[in-house]
Structure 1
């Protein structure tokens, strides 16, 4: 799907920001941090608990969106002298700043995750930490959990270490710039190796039956005083970067399972009939899916820039619903243990500035590698974390969807009655007259309701905008 922008006037931008403030109020989103939390954050930023090991000579780099300042991860990749690769992966050490049971800790458990709105973000931790002292910003020395993953020539993990260390990132890269440097051959070796290691890990993912959906994302883009909508199909560098995080999450899960205490990110297998539904969708979209070809192999062959393929990838997201967290202690066997999309045990551990659970998994992994008992405060919190994270995930999903709905309705409110070219990307099983359409221009994904005939999944059709009401966050199309 091409990236296409449609701009609002400055006045519309002002009205939209007011509507977004109202949305935050209606969702009871916490915004300002209480004074005791801010005071504790200032003290922690000035006096963190520093580790003994100094790894500031390691030339780490980060890859994030251009405007991001809450940088959780930095990496360095190198070839090993005997063959294979060594990956250093530094993760922000939030526990070096947060005292268990303190005001910062309590507020993080109330917020659970960073929430992203078009006009602002509502962070998990105060900015003095999340965009300051705890962030892996370039040329800043800060504490981190430094993973060392030694891989063989095929990308398999041979040995693992994680410990606290002082680190210093050398460069803040963005995805477009990293991809361009790799493609043109101008990347330094450490960045260039991201392609090699990323591809090897993608091959291993395919072998174990895992799947990463390359679904184009609908983005809200700020432009001056207004906002636009755009589609962004992930770059190869997005996928290679994600593979480093996935690999670390898989290793973290293995460490906790071996130690007998931890928390896994789990996803059940697809429910009965889900794959059959996808086969029907593939047929409707005229996508050739031979019976001997596994679902994961088919998905990897699709081009998200082709509308029919993008529609099918959107249908595939149904198989990723139902993810949760599984806690285990005292050497018990967790149930469930696998993440169906990863096709292995997996843990969230690489985004502690933005996600509460990662602080705990990092702590448990450091203890496991050291052969030590995990700290009592980390074990005591495990029982409540699945429910806390579930609530945080629901809030984050609601914020994302309603923010996009609001921007869509604001962009289109003066265009009711107009017709557009669209692709039908979803049709309800039990209501074939109801579905979802994707417009290329403007970059809108909206509900469609037909009164005359079933919606043709995957077909390009003309649609008429029937409703666009920012007050109800509603955009509705009908066949033209």
Structure 2
């Protein structure tokens, strides 16, 4: 019998609200007024463009709606983004509160949202219940998936269906994809191939998620469908287009990551060769990782290489520029293989609202507003702190659930995959648990261990290698 993980303790540890959204009264009042008022100002009427949302089934904060059309010259992508800039008054109580929060924090027993639910789950969400205000991107691509032109405007849009990844995947495989995204199965792989060619690094490590199990909780591996990867490529495409607009204009906010260090690449290649995996001389990490077996935990050697490849993706940051501050010397994102800006998830992430407002001004030939230029220098620090908090909260919830699931099995023997020598780290596939391990490990090997600690209070799980 396992001990239930204590998510209330996680909330207390990180100073999060114990229940609900817990927004100040002035913030809720402003959000209610904005929701009741609806969109104002000039907008393009794009309600005739078929768009759909594709999200996990339980999602209510729908940031994006997509439509993809095959054309004689390639593809046209319409990507509608929730228009938070139209409902958040710069300098008001709501603006101050979302700057303090930074992003939505997701815990198994309920989220701590960035915006009040009256906006994020209702008025500003791209629900399929009528015309909605949106920031609408139109991106023209050639037959190989390369960008030919792009534009962005405020618009009224209409989502015609609320879909989920598994349903879309099944529909595509059955040959009955929704007409709004029938071309996704062609464009998605094209964009993914272009990403690998330019050096984008996709680790594809097993993704752990905490889910209800009876009256308690358990941890499982979430399997990504191809549709989820293809849909992500449309979001990445939009972020790359936005970043280039910003760089061309000399004002913006980028998500940056240094290109992989050559020494780190050499060390990763040595690890792969030591494990008997193929890595031709001069081949890029992106192509080698893309060729590894799937799912990520299908081959212990491949899993160890994927884990080792995390050393290639270090140094993520945000870089703002404009009003006398030049763009960063290296504006690229090493994990994407190109400059990139967050603009596609404004309901859940603070910085996207600002990125959208910059691009709207640039596309319309207007000056970027002073309030936005004044905000830019402080946003990297706010977002970095928020990202750190989100990662720590997520890890704490997963660690405590792993420990709770295994708490009654201390002393038992387990076969695990060795991932790293120092510090010793192993992966148990069922239930999926990432943990420390004592002993001399050989990465990529399946080894016998004994569980010596599983503490649901601290989240510590520890194995010991058996002789």
* Fold-level similarity (TM above 0.5): yes
The Cα RMSD (Å) is 1.6
Deviation per residue, 1:406-427 (Å, 9 max, x gap)? 1011111111101111111222
2:191 matched to 1:191?
A: no
Determine the C-alpha separation between the residues in 2 that align with 1:87 and 1:134: 22
Q: 1:336 is matched with which residue? A: 330
In 2, Cα distance between equivalents of 1:306 and 1:140: 47
Q: Deviations over 1:8-50 (max 9, x none)?
A: 77xx44xx3xx21111111112451111111111111111333
> For the structure 1 residues 219 and 380, does the alpha-carbon distance in structure 2 shift closer, same or farther, using more than 3 Å as the test?
same
Query: Is the contact between residue 319 and residue 327 of structure 2 (CA under 8 Å) also seen in structure 1?
Result: no
Which residue, out of 93, 97, 100, partners 1:103?
93
Q: Which of 354, 369, 379 lines up with 1:375 in the alignment?
A: 369
Aligned match of 1:275: 265
Question: CA separation in 2, counterparts of 1:186 and 1:306?
Answer: 33
Q: 1:466·1:476 contact (CA, 8 Å) conserved in 2?
A: yes
Match of 1:348 in 2: 342
Q: Which moved more, 1:324-333 or 1:149-158?
A: 324-333
Hey, what does 1:310 align to over in structure 2?
A: 303
Tell me by how many angstroms 1:83 deviates.
2.2
Q: Which residue does the alignment assign to 2:12? A: 25
Task: Give the SS at the match of 2:234.
Answer: helix
Q: Structure 1 length as normaliser, TM-score?
A: 0.92
Determine whether 1:319 maps to 2:312.
yes
Which residue of the partner structure matches residue 4 of structure 1? Answer: none
Distance (Å, rounded) in 1 between the aligned partners of 2:53 and 2:302: 31
1:445 aligns with 2:434: yes
SS in 1 for 2:333: coil
The yes-or-no answer on 1:56 pairing with 2:50 is no
Task: Specify the alignment match of 1:67 in structure 2.
Answer: 58
Quote the Cα distance in structure 2 between the aligned partners of 1:399 and 1:321.
Answer: 20
CA distance in 2, matches of 1:235, 1:243: 13
The answer for unaligned runs of 5 or more in structure 2 is none
**How far did 1:224 drift?**
4.8
Distance 1:354 1:456 in 2: 40
Tell me how many residue pairs correspond in the alignment: 458
- Quote the residue 2:240 is aligned against: 250
Q: 2:424 aligns with which of 407, 427, 435?
A: 435
> Which structure 2 residues correspond to residues 66-465 of structure 1 after superposition, within 5 A?
66-80=57-71, 82-303=72-293, 304=296, 305-330=298-323, 332-428=326-422, 434-450=423-439, 454-465=440-451
Tell me, in whole angstroms, the C-alpha distance in 1 between the residues paired with 2:213 and 2:366. Answer: 51
Deviating above 6 A after TM superposition, structure 1's stretches of 4 or more consecutive aligned residues are none
Do the aligned partners of 1:89 and 1:146 also contact (CA within 8 Å) in 2?
yes
Cα distance in 2 between the residues matched to 1:213 and 1:243: 15
Worse-superposed segment, 267-276 or 406-415: 267-276
Q: Is the 8 A contact 1:179 1:237 kept in 2?
A: yes
Q: Which residue of 2 aligns with 1:477?
A: 463
CA distance in 2, matches of 1:334, 1:308: 37
Contact kept? 1:265, 1:326, Cα under 8 Å:
yes
